[in-house]
Structure 1
Amino acid sequence: MARLGPLVFALATAVASLSTAASARAENEAPAEALFIEAKRLVAAGDYAAACPKFAESNRLDRAAGTMIHLADCYEKNHQLATAWATYREAASAAKNLGRLDWQRLALARAEALDTKVGRLTIEVTEPADKIEVRRDGVLVSSASWGTPLPLDAGRHTIEATAAGRQPFTTTVTTTDDGVVSRVTIPKLAVAPAEADTREVPAEKASIASSQASQSNQKTWGYVVGGVGLVGLAVGTVAGLVAIEKNADATRVCPNDGVCPSEAAIHDSDTAKTFGTISTIALVAGGAAVVTGLVLVLTSPSSPKHEAKLAPSIGPNTAALSLSGVF
């Protein structure tokens, strides 16, 4: 009896497994049947694009040779000939396992009829790089499939090739039916530029550009400030000339420093003082601006290092501006 223990346990486990599988299948049969009926209704209405996914889901829930034959027929009417061809062959295998030779003969005959109509695609890799990966519509194509015309539904397809250290290759091809074999040749993948180069070169260019921009900005400000200074010198000069002229007019009328009875002479004297003050301020400010502009231009980043000191001085009757340093 001791020896019968493991055998009994194994039988119990098998029975439990079969019971679980049968229960799961029973749960799937109802939705699978509902999807199958709905798919047949859509086929009758000519809506194959909506019917095929329902046949496929019904077959996933409850795999059956009859459902696969209906699914393949739907694919064929929806102009997915390669998928229909493959599904007919799968249905023939399932029918053989069930002992339904009539279904098997039907599925094989339909597959054979499509064999010469199905479009095919050949992918060739001329010089494969190390660990190269080729994908068709995002699905990996093994190296064993390279160079072989493989059935493919008509339409636009994307072919990609990637490898470490290589630039990726991407192309598209439009396949057709009527037995046409399309071809895509993947060339030798170019070596990808080193990551260090892609980082350093732009950084170096950016540094040069930044330096040039800084130099240009400082020089521009130097020219602007210097130009303002020149305008100030011109204003100061004109104001000084006016002050000299008005002072001369007042002196002619009242040559002495005493009280002058002439209102015109008094007005000319006041005007001369006002313009004299304006002249002094404009000359000092203008001179300072000119020198500042000169310093900005001479000390721009591309120029040698310069040091400059600006020292304005204003007295009762004089105005001076001194510049010292190394240029």
Structure 2
Amino acid sequence: MARLCAIGAGLTAAIAGGSAARAEDKAGAVALFREAGALIDAGQPARACPRYEESLRLYDSSNTRYFLADCYERIGKMASAWAHFLEVAARVRASGDRAKEAKARERAAAVLPKVSRLTVVVGAASAPGLEVKRDGTPVGAGQWGVPMPVDAGIHVVEASAPGKRTWTARVEVAPGGATSTLVVGPLEDDPASGDAGGAGAPRRTLALVTGGAGVVAVGVGTALAFAARSTFDESSAFCNGDRCDRRGMDIRDSAVARANVATVVFGVGLAAIAGGGVLWLTAKSPAKGASIGLAPAVGGALVRGSF
């Protein structure tokens, strides 16, 4: 309780120096901060984190952000904890407080190995105007195929494009630094949309598009496989057989992650080529249109103190 009071006093002093927030918001931020600290002391971090979040919303303080990161770590939200610790380090560095910066970076480094990642692969599914979202947040093209830090648990990925039906999948990301992979399947035409091509594209055209996308995916998978091999070879400078130092282990882990993505992309490409072949062989003269969908593939294993 003595530590809590000291921390609360420090937050109060920090808030008193600001003028942007309204007085009642500042007071509310202090009250929520203290209540969150009491819940942490009582061993109830799951109840404390929302208090810290609301306190931070009312008044953005590096002190509050630090203890919110600590709370996230306690409940297993490692990606969020890591991001907040790094944000705190950047902010206190700007203020010249090197001791707090070192503490925040130390906590971030300790959390990093426990941060899980999700790779969203978009290859054969690509369509004009394609938009991908994870839990409602846009996933830009720069993130496609890259293992991105996420909190462990269930995540919902959506893909949409003009004239197409929205594609949705749920993926469970395991804790403890696991990496999962989700492949966005080809989007089906939406007959109700005027952008879907009237009565629908002819089956042979769809076969060509699907098969061509499959060829592209196979090429991408092959390139990723070569890149994974090249990355693995780089570890030889830091390894003696199967014994590696930390740098060598990191390089080999990166190579394995790339190889896993390459396997998934290559498999999806082969499936798309096969689907295109079936469509071509079963095509008749112009019909009402057809579409083929590929099922999503999910990879991977589907101390509070003063600051």
Q: TM-score, normalised by structure 2?
A: 0.54
1:177 Cα offset (Å): 1.9
Residue 42 of structure 2 is aligned with which of 34, 42, 45? Answer: 45
Alignment of 1:171-250 (within 5 A): 171-193=169-191
Q: Give the structure, 1 or 2, with the largest relative contact order (CA under 8 Å, sep 6 or more).
A: 2
1:188 Cα offset (Å): 2.3
Corresponding residue of 1:94: 91
Superimposed CA distance per residue, residues 74-117 of structure 1 (whole angstroms, 9 cap, x where no aligned partner): 00001111111111111111211222211111111111111111
Matched, 1:70 2:67: yes
Alignment of 1:1-327 (within 5 A): 22=19, 24=21, 26-127=23-124, 128-193=126-191
1:123 Cα offset (Å): 0.5
Residues of 2 paired with 1:23 and 1:136: CA distance? Answer: 33
Superimposed CA distance per residue, residues 204-253 of structure 1 (whole angstroms, 9 cap, x where no aligned partner): xxxxxxxxxxxxxxxxxxxxxxxxxxxxxxxxxxxxxxxxxxxxxxxxxx
Task: Verify the 8 A CA contact 2:153 2:175 in the aligned structure 1.
Answer: no
Task: Provide the secondary structure at the position in 1 that maps to 2:188.
Answer: coil
Which is higher, the Rg of structure 1 or of structure 2?
Answer: 1
Task: Verify the 8 A CA contact 1:96 1:104 in the aligned structure 2.
Answer: yes
1:130 to 1:32, Cα distance in 2 relative to 1, 3 A: same
Q: TM-score, normalised by structure 1?
A: 0.51
Residues of 1 paired with 2:165 and 2:61: CA distance? Answer: 46
- Unaligned runs of 5+ residues in structure 2 are 1-17, 200-307
Supply the AA of the counterpart residue of 2:139: V
Task: Verify the 8 A CA contact 1:120 1:149 in the aligned structure 2.
Answer: yes
When the two chains are superposed, the root-mean-square deviation of aligned CA atoms in Å is 2.3
Task: Verify the 8 A CA contact 1:64 1:94 in the aligned structure 2.
Answer: no
Residues of 1 paired with 2:145 and 2:54: CA distance? Answer: 33
| 4+ long deviations beyond 4 Å | 194-197
1:178 to 1:52, Cα distance in 2 relative to 1, 3 A: same
Residues of 2 paired with 1:108 and 1:76: CA distance? Answer: 14
Residues of 2 paired with 1:126 and 1:149: CA distance? Answer: 15
Residues of 1 paired with 2:23 and 2:93: CA distance? Answer: 23
Superimposed CA distance per residue, residues 100-158 of structure 1 (whole angstroms, 9 cap, x where no aligned partner): 21111111111111111110001111131011111112222122221111111111111
Supply the AA of the counterpart residue of 1:97: A
Residues of 2 paired with 1:23 and 1:188: CA distance? Answer: 49
Corresponding residue of 1:289: none
Residues of 2 paired with 1:195 and 1:130: CA distance? Answer: 15
Residues of 1 paired with 2:22 and 2:87: CA distance? Answer: 20
Corresponding residue of 1:242: none
Supply the AA of the counterpart residue of 2:165: Q
Task: Verify the 8 A CA contact 2:132 2:139 in the aligned structure 1.
Answer: yes
- Unaligned runs of 5+ residues in structure 1 are 1-20, 201-327
Task: Verify the 8 A CA contact 2:21 2:59 in the aligned structure 1.
Answer: no
Residues of 2 paired with 1:92 and 1:192: CA distance? Answer: 48
Supply the AA of the counterpart residue of 1:83: S
Residues of 2 paired with 1:50 and 1:195: CA distance? Answer: 45
Residues of 2 paired with 1:105 and 1:23: CA distance? Answer: 28
Superimposed CA distance per residue, residues 156-214 of structure 1 (whole angstroms, 9 cap, x where no aligned partner): 111111111123221111001222111111122233336699xx9xxxxxxxxxxxxxx
Residues of 2 paired with 1:147 and 1:49: CA distance? Answer: 32
Corresponding residue of 1:254: none
The number of residue pairs the alignment matches comes to 179
**Greater helix share, structure number:** 1
Residues of 2 paired with 1:23 and 1:130: CA distance? Answer: 44
Task: Provide the secondary structure at the position in 1 that maps to 2:172.
Answer: strand
Residues of 2 paired with 1:172 and 1:23: CA distance? Answer: 41
Task: Verify the 8 A CA contact 1:123 1:184 in the aligned structure 2.
Answer: yes
How high is the sequence identity, in percent, across the aligned residues?
Answer: 40
Corresponding residue of 2:298: none
Residues of 1 paired with 2:143 and 2:118: CA distance? Answer: 10
Task: Verify the 8 A CA contact 1:66 1:103 in the aligned structure 2.
Answer: no
Residues of 1 paired with 2:24 and 2:193: CA distance? Answer: 56
